[in-house]
Structure 1
Amino acid sequence: MAKAGMLRAEDWRAIIGLAGECRDLGDDATAWRDHLVRRLARMVDADLGSSGETVGHAGGPLRSVGVANWGFDHFTSPKVHGAVFAQVLEDPLCYDLVERWNAEQAREDGAASTRRKLVEDREWYASTGDDLIHRPLGVDHVVACWRTTPGDVRIGTTLFRGRGRRDFDGREVAIVREAHAVLASLVGGPLARFEDPSPRGLPPHMRRVLACLLEGDGDKQVAARLGLSAYSVNQYTKGLYRHFGVRSRAELLARWLRRAYPDPPSWLE
């Protein structure tokens, strides 16, 4: 098992820096995950990767809640990797390593494992996973880490190297592991889940009203700042309540205070 002690001081600085960068994008579940997989891939010299959430691990079928991908266009056409992703989303267990990762996580939540740790080369290169997933994508070695968060939701990242490249070493595995240990405690708080209602799902005018409300403006102030009628502000505010599942302005503000989302928000463009 890769130990945290294998990490250097600069690795810890990079991990803490990554967590801060993700927090700056934390109110957008896709944006912070895009950044996570891109930066973590560069930290461990991976060629491509995915970061997402899955549910259903306490029993019942696995279900992907959402995923962010990076780097796949450099290896295959969108048609090829789109077909591979569709297949894995429909049946995650067609990827042989999923069951092995699940077993590894059952033994130790948050464990980071390489493909070679879980299955020997001879067995892997004759497997369905290599034939249906790795070969079409042009990848071989992989490291993955999954960690459980409240609500039986697992967050995780899977990073790949192209065929012919070396395996991930112990230090690189430890970086992936410790990055997820830091980030897992923030998911559902400063880092939005995929199923959380997102401000980016709102029309631009409603986002602007939301930004004013978060700054403490009353209806008249919002109307004056945005050049809207009081009636329009009232209707937009009701729409915001419905979108975020709250019943009052106090609940809406409490949601942001509790989540400690960034200021200014990443979605206000």
Structure 2
Amino acid sequence: MDLALAEADVRSMVRLLGDVVALAGGISEKRRLLMDGLCRIIDATTWIWCMAEFDPDKPPSFIGMEHGGWNEERFARYLEAMNHPDMEPVTRPSSIELKVRGTHLTRTQRQMDPDMLLEKSGAAAFWERANIGALMTSQRPMEGGGISGIGVYRELGKPHFTEREARIAHIILSEVPWLHFHAFPDRPSQEITRLYPRHRTILNLLCEGWSRKKIATHLGISENTIHGYVKDIYRHFGVNAQAELIARLTKGDGGDR
């Protein structure tokens, strides 16, 4: 039988969506209000909203992240977990489903990974270090490829998200198409799967404003090694500085203006 939400759930959802519409702020402020409110309703502790390359034949890759509920160190560990090469077989079934159906989908961890590949993979230890147990994703296809991707998370030891919570999240997140990313800012952004997992982790940390020294300390590698990775990243995007890279990933290369 199809799940019907309780009246209290519906009231909470309508109130949240009304608050988001009424907020006199920009897109980022409205996203934050929406996600913080959703997390309260479904008892999640952290969230991310990003653009992602999510193709069955490519490793999952993410840019343009907005997020809430994390401290700096834990978010950095989360980026390592997300960019781990063992995540490719874990996300493959859901990326196949998304490609076939071509519509906004919301899935709990048990739905997207019924064989519990994540728990058996080399990536599992990275998720544990980030203190992430249960997760749920909501993905909306973008124009020209890729997705506007959302993840909500609970800490280790917390129960998995339920069918009710997935239904609440899907209804809320599918009712705000104007808040979703609509396309990658430019071609190099869409082609980040050409970068290796370590490059993508460093790219994400650079976009968080981290210095090369800080990244090297966190990853336990030398600054010289980081310099090499950063050089590759800059070459890929055709930029010469960190500020230019961040601007490129938020505004594109100007070819659409």
TM-score (norm 1): 0.56
Relative to structure 1, the CA distance from residue 178 to residue 28 in structure 2 (aligned partners, 3 Å threshold; closer, same or farther) is same
C-alpha contact (below 8 Å) 1:92/1:98 kept by paired residues: no
- For residues 229-264 of structure 1, the C-alpha deviation after alignment (integer angstroms, 9 at most, x for no partner) is xxxxxxxxxxxxxx9x87xxxxxxxxxxxxxxxxxx
Identity, % of aligned positions:
16
Say which of 105, 121, 124 aligns to 2:118: 124
Superposition deviation, residue 179 in structure 1: 1.4
Letter of the 1:95 counterpart: M
CA RMSD of aligned residues (A): 3.6
Superposition deviation, residue 105 in structure 1: 1.8
Superposition deviation, residue 27 in structure 1: 6.1
| Residue of structure 1 in register with 2:162 after alignment | 169
Which of the pair has more CA radius of gyration?
1
Say which of 140, 145, 156 aligns to 2:133: 140
Q: Give the aligned length.
A: 188
Structure 2: tracts of 5 or more residues without a match: 186-253
Relative to structure 1, the CA distance from residue 163 to residue 171 in structure 2 (aligned partners, 3 Å threshold; closer, same or farther) is same
C-alpha contact (below 8 Å) 1:55/1:152 kept by paired residues: yes
Relative to structure 1, the CA distance from residue 187 to residue 149 in structure 2 (aligned partners, 3 Å threshold; closer, same or farther) is farther
Q: What does residue range 78-227 of structure 1 map to in structure 2 within 5 Å? A: 78-85=72-79, 88=82, 91=83, 94-96=86-88, 97-108=90-101, 109-120=103-114, 123-132=117-126, 134-184=127-177, 186-187=178-179
Distance in 1, matches of 2:166 and 2:27, equals 24
Superposition deviation, residue 14 in structure 1: 3.0
C-alpha contact (below 8 Å) 1:144/1:157 kept by paired residues: yes
Distance in 1, matches of 2:24 and 2:62, equals 20
C-alpha contact (below 8 Å) 2:134/2:159 kept by paired residues: yes
Structure number with greater CO (CA < 8 Å, separation at least 6) is 1
Superposition deviation, residue 136 in structure 1: 1.2
Distance in 1, matches of 2:120 and 2:149, equals 26
C-alpha contact (below 8 Å) 2:110/2:116 kept by paired residues: no
Say which of 29, 46, 57 aligns to 2:44: 46
Secondary structure (helix, strand or coil) at the match of 1:39 reads: helix
Distance in 2, matches of 1:28 and 1:143, equals 26
Superposition deviation, residue 55 in structure 1: 4.9
C-alpha contact (below 8 Å) 2:81/2:123 kept by paired residues: no
Superposition deviation, residue 86 in structure 1: 5.6
Structure 1: tracts of 5 or more residues without a match: 196-242, 247-269
| Residue of structure 2 in register with 1:252 after alignment | none
Relative to structure 1, the CA distance from residue 56 to residue 156 in structure 2 (aligned partners, 3 Å threshold; closer, same or farther) is closer
Relative to structure 1, the CA distance from residue 160 to residue 52 in structure 2 (aligned partners, 3 Å threshold; closer, same or farther) is same
TM-score (norm 2): 0.58
